[in-house]
Amino acid sequence: MIKTLSTSSAPAAIGPYSQAKVVGNLLFTSGQIPLVPETMEMVTGSIQVQTERVLQNLDAVLREAGTGWDRVIKTTVFLTDMGDFGTFNTVYEQHLGGAKPARSTVQVAALPKGAKVEIELIAEV
């Protein structure tokens, strides 16, 4: 059985997709960009500020699913500039605390709405 998950504490989908799906005991999120849920406006500024917003959005989806970063299995990170990797990595590590999921990080030509970072994840629920 596949369950669609949605929370108003994370940005609503801006296209024909869901915030997340739960299949069995696994949560699969769509990519989150630095949108403010209440206004759907992009957070502009540094990679640090954008990364913090993306992680907050993922926090909300994880909470809605009844899980947390300690149960995240894998993240996929999309950056528009690999030169931002060091700063991104510092913010990411601080936010996740001791959690160290498997991760892939790739540079892409562009992201929706001009975002500098997008993150998706898979977690156990």
Q: Are 101 and 75 in contact (CB under 8 A)?
A: yes
How many separate domains does the chain show? 1
Crossing angle of helices 47-65/85-96, nearest 10°?
Answer: 30
Q: What is the pLDDT of residues 72-110, one digit of tens each?
A: 999 999 999 999 999 999 999 999 999 999 999 999 999
Residue 23's CATH number: 3.30.1330.40
Q: Is the pLDDT of residue 3 over 90?
A: yes
Q: Is the pLDDT of residue 14 over 90?
A: no
pTM strictly above 0.75: yes
CB under 8 A, 24+ apart: contacts of 86-93: 87/46, 87/47, 87/48, 87/51, 88/47, 88/48, 88/51, 88/117, 90/48, 91/47, 91/48, 91/51, 91/52, 91/55, 92/51, 92/55
Query: What is the span of the domain harbouring residue 55?
Result: 2-124
